[in-house]
Structure 1
Amino acid sequence: MKKTRQDNNLDVTEDAFLGGSLRLRQLKSGHRAGHDAMLLAAATPARSGNRVADLGAGVGAAGLAVARRVGDIDLVLVEIDAGLASLARANAEANALAAEVIVLDVEAAADAYAAVNLQPDSVDVVLMNPPFNDSVRHRVSPDRARGIAHVATSTTLSNWIHATRRILKSRGMLTLIWRADGIAEVLAALDHGFGGLEILPIHGDVKAPANRILVRATKGGRAPTRIHAGLMLNDERGVPDKAVQEILAGRGILPLATP
């Protein structure tokens, strides 16, 4: 990790992802990309030629990781915070990855999406890491940007999935990461217009319940829901799992990335 300074005097760090093949500048404080973003990218079933939208992209971590792995995608990074969007744009350029960066509230109306060329039925793949901490149980950060990035309202998930359903083509795919204890919210939100769910529980500790879930859903899909064996980030000794480390280094994908 290398500390640098932005022109607007905000402290940023430059961090290596995917074994160093992706370098990202991000704010030193506030929401920071990490394992969640890389696992989301490794679970995204994008193919060359696809139009891929990363909703709530932050500094572009997950979307750019998909672009580094797949190549030749039409990547759109959507972020509400103009400062983070600026960093995402700079990160795409620094990594020689083509991406259109749009400053837009994911929960905006259809006409706002259309105004930035995100019309209905125009995207092949959506990935997203919405704010998912419960505001009732989670202490809200005094840092406004961090709070927006981390804490969900009662309508956050349903609104984000509604926007996704609108812009996805028929049979287009959504991949998202969420709290494992919020799986009922995810299933309820996806019950309208999505099917063929694939669920991958993520465990930080082999002896503990899953704390995250990765979910892939198909717009208009009819296949039954499948739950994969849990992904263990660490083994019984607390040592990082080698297979997971290979995925985080960009040398593997998760089962959800295979349609």
Structure 2
Amino acid sequence: MNFPTKADETAFGAAPTGEVSKDAFLGGGFHLLQPARGGFRAGHDALLLAACVPREARGEALDMGSGAGAVAFAAVSRASGLRVTLAERSPVMAQLARDSVALNENAALAGRLRLVELDLLAPRAAREAAGLPDNGFDWVLSNPPFHPPGGRVSPDALRGAAKTLASPETLARWLAVAGALARHGASLVLIVRPDTLGSVLEGAEGRFGALTLRAVHSAPDAPALRLLVSGMRGSRAPLRILPPVILDADLRAAVSRGEADLSLS
């Protein structure tokens, strides 16, 4: 499944191959600049995650590990009261995200996106110096690295670094940073592989409660491909498992147009 459609190619920005594509999302609601070949290209995971953000969401949101910015752009397109900070460590992907913000500056989302180039696992002092203070966000969104270390890694360095965990502890550390950056009562929304659930629960322990899980399946009798996770900073409410999401043709089309509402409440 690949929801974006390739609109054209341009030399705008810098990619490992020297070529960048301009891709339309949400039926042309916004465009992203991404590596045309190689690198990490946004797809259905980002749009599934954004579909979990309520349309009435307001305040300051953080897109952790934003890549080219699909989650952030889709979230602000969906929720007009949301402002999103994109945090990305790769200089190549961060520059593409900056260029995409400029590309969409005349759209309704203009002025509600900013980018911080930073490794989020850096010490707190480095995060604060980059403009990411602790307790600064009402929403934390992430499509984090979730392929296990030691497994098959993409031969493309950018893609491998974006989606592969550096160590078994990395995802739990990611959640610890999310907890530090989130205000009390803030909402967390993630999309991960089902086999990372143990690390998610470990990282959320003592930080995020009211955890809610929804498995994503390609068909009713197929194993789950992804897991949608939400939580609330400081809550002590118990974990809930909601009915699964079945990505049939109608739902895939609705997600691609930005019309799907995948509630985690």
TM-score by length of 2: 0.89
Alignment of 1:142 onto 2:155: yes
Alignment of 1:107 onto 2:121: yes
**Matched residues, number:** 250
Report the alpha carbon displacement of residue 45 of structure 1 after superposing the two structures with TM. 4.2
Counterpart-to-counterpart distance in 2, 1:150 and 1:7: 22
Alignment of 1:13 onto 2:21: yes
Alignment of 1:4 onto 2:16: no
Instruction: In structure 2, give the amino acid aligned to 1:247.
Output: V
Check 1:7–1:104 CA distance in 2 against 1; reply closer, same or farther (3 A cut).
closer
Match of 1:39 in 2: 48
Q: Which consecutive residues of structure 2, in runs of 5 or more, have no partner in the other structure?
A: 1-5
Runs of 4+ residues deviating >6 angstroms:
none
Contact 2:208–2:235 (CA under 8 A) maintained in structure 1: yes
Contact 2:216–2:247 (CA under 8 A) maintained in structure 1: yes
Within the candidate set 245, 248, 257, 1:231 is matched to 245
Contact 2:140–2:188 (CA under 8 A) maintained in structure 1: yes
Counterpart-to-counterpart distance in 1, 2:57 and 2:153: 39
Contact 2:219–2:247 (CA under 8 A) maintained in structure 1: yes
Match of 2:3 in 1: none
Contact 1:181–1:211 (CA under 8 A) maintained in structure 2: no
Alignment of 1:253 onto 2:255: no
Report the alpha carbon displacement of residue 163 of structure 1 after superposing the two structures with TM. 0.8
Check 1:8–1:164 CA distance in 2 against 1; reply closer, same or farther (3 A cut).
closer
Contact 1:46–1:52 (CA under 8 A) maintained in structure 2: no
Check 1:228–1:11 CA distance in 2 against 1; reply closer, same or farther (3 A cut).
same
TM-score by length of 1: 0.91
Q: Which consecutive residues of structure 1, in runs of 5 or more, have no partner in the other structure?
A: 235-239
Secondary structure, aligned partner of 2:119: coil
Contact 1:6–1:12 (CA under 8 A) maintained in structure 2: yes
Counterpart-to-counterpart distance in 2, 1:210 and 1:142: 26
Check 1:39–1:184 CA distance in 2 against 1; reply closer, same or farther (3 A cut).
same
Contact 1:120–1:167 (CA under 8 A) maintained in structure 2: yes
